[in-house]
Every structure is written in structure tokens, then in C-alpha cells.
Homo-oligomer: A and B are copies of this chain.
Amino acid sequence: MYLLNGESKHSIEFSDRGFQYGDGLFETIEIKNGSPLFLKQHLQRLLNGCQRLLIPLPDAELLRKEAYQLSKDSDHAILKLIITRGSGGRGYRQPNKIHPTRLLSLHPFPNYSENYNQQGISVRFCNHLLGLNPFLAGIKHMNRLEQILARAEWNSSEIQEGLMMDINRHVIEGTMSNLFVVKENILYTPLIEKCGVEGILRGILIGIANQNKIKVIKNNLSKEDVLTADELFITNSIIGIWPIKQLERQQFKIGLLTTKLQRLFSEIKQQEIKNAY
């Protein structure tokens, strides 16, 4: 089910700059009991991204209305929101008057195993390195070749995620998730200043940690830092929190801080499900 600028459609003009150049951004949102979860945070990130990409801000109230309209009959699904710079301009040059494209779409929720949440996942390091670009870092934009090439490195269903380093060999994130590292009861997560996506769940978890007096440090992390962690987990809006039980040949236990954060997040999510309705 697709809603393109308010109309039910299945395709987009070739001339749309989202297609020509990946000139846009997106949000992937969990729908539960007919409501898009953490929509406020997703819309805020989308608007921030538009601002940074010089795309005129879409009407947030309209996006909100359409998001609910598309979600209302779904028990559990995914809502994807796309904003592009629309059509026009010559080559890379944007048109003088920008008419952004607004696309909302509904997708089935992936059938991830419940085990991933409880017993953890197996993860590898990707060979593909993230380029550094402070101008684009943090934004969930539509230029995603790096993630696609990294995700293409493995096919085994035994491996659920790949961790990506940047060209300075700092570990930044998973191909589709943010990374958290626990060491001596301190929570570390990579800086998203030169590359990487600022995940919504990453932001929520940092907030939870702050409120619960769990020390959080955003920092540069080496492969060594990650491999010598006490606990490791990844996050995104769809999977929630997945503990890492294995990274390359290294085993990890699912520790107390990870399960505590899972519990605290689960409470916030239940609250969100209640309020979002």
C-alpha cells in the first residue's frame, strides 16, 4: 500500500531526483496495534534531515495524519516514509522552486526469530569501510550503496548482522543498526559525526541510560575495544535491542546491563503503544 503525495500509486516518475540521485531521505517505523511507534522522534529526524539536505520542510501534521491513515488497519507492520527533492533542476543542480515528493508505504513486519532478542545473534565484521562525510553523517538519506555492498558480503542465515568500520578503522555501526558496547558497567556507543546513521532507538536508549544513571560515553571505538567488551548489542527501530552472542570467533554473554536496558525499553515501548493509539 503506497501513498504518493496523498494519492494511491505504485510508481514514481523517472525524473524524481530520489530515483536519479538518491536525493532524499527516509524513515522506517514499526506499526503496532494500528499505530506508528515513536512517530514524533521519526518525524523530528526526518525534518532535521530535510533541513540539512536543503529540502523544504514537509508539513509534519500532514505526514502524521497520513502515517496514521496507512497504519490504522495493521496489527504489526512496517511503515516507510520517504521525502525526496522531487523533480526538476538540471543535473545535480536543484530546481529554483523545490516541490518535494512525499511517499508513505506499508510493508509486512519481517519474521525475525524471537530468539534474537533473548538469546542473541551472531555478527561479523564487514570488509567494506564507511567513507567519511561529516556533511551527511547522522542523516538517514537515500545514498545507501555502502550498506548494500557491506550486506552483500555474507549470505549465511547464521549471521544476522555485520559491523562496519570507517576508513580510519573506527567501528561505527551495523549495516542496519547502531552498536552499543558495555565495559565495566559503562555504556559506549560510536560517535556519528563523520559517518553513520543516528538511529531513533539509539537516541531513546541514550535517554533511558541517562535517566537511570547509567553512564553513556559516545566515543571512537576500535575493533579491539569491541572485541574486548563485556556485553555487546545492536539496536534499530524494527528489531529493538538484539544482544550479540558471537562476533567473529569471540563469544559474549548477554549481560545484566543489556537485559536491564531491554526491560526499560520494553516499558517505554508499552507506554508508547498505549499513548500512540
Contacts and interface: CB of A to CB of B under 8 A. Distances in A.
Interface string A132-160: 11111000011111111111100000000
A148 B93 CA distance: 6
Question: Which of A19, A93, A176 has the most C-beta atoms of chain B within 10 angstroms of its own C-beta?
Answer: A19
Given A21-B145, A90-B110, A132-B132, 10 more contacts: A2-B14, A12-B19, A20-B26, A20-B142, A21-B147, A22-B144, A53-B149, A93-B151, A142-B145, A143-B144
Number of copies of this protein chain within its complex: 2
Nearest to A103: B14
A16 interface: yes
A148 B251 CA distance: 44
Interface in A215-238: none
A132 B135 contact: no
A192 to B, nearest CB: 14
Contact of A195 (B12, B22, B131): B131
Contact of A94 (B110, B131, B151, B167): B151
Contacts of A249: none
A22 B22 CA distance: 4
A17 B148 CA distance: 10
B146 A133 contact: yes
A143 B145 CA distance: 7
B91 A23 contact: no
A195 B12 CA distance: 30
B167 A132 contact: yes
Contacts of A90: 110
Nearest to A153: B54
A163 to B, nearest CB: 14
A5 to B, nearest CB: 12
A240 to B, nearest CB: 16
* Shortest 10 CB-CB contacts between residues of A and residues of B: A22-B22, A131-B133, A143-B143, A131-B131, A21-B144, A11-B11, A92-B151, A92-B147, A19-B19, A93-B151
Contacts of A142: 19-22, 145
20 contacts: A10-B14, A19-B19, A21-B142, A21-B144, A21-B145, A21-B148, A22-B142, A22-B143, A22-B144, A53-B145, A92-B148, A92-B151, A93-B152, A94-B148, A94-B151, A128-B135, A131-B195, A132-B132, A143-B144, A143-B145
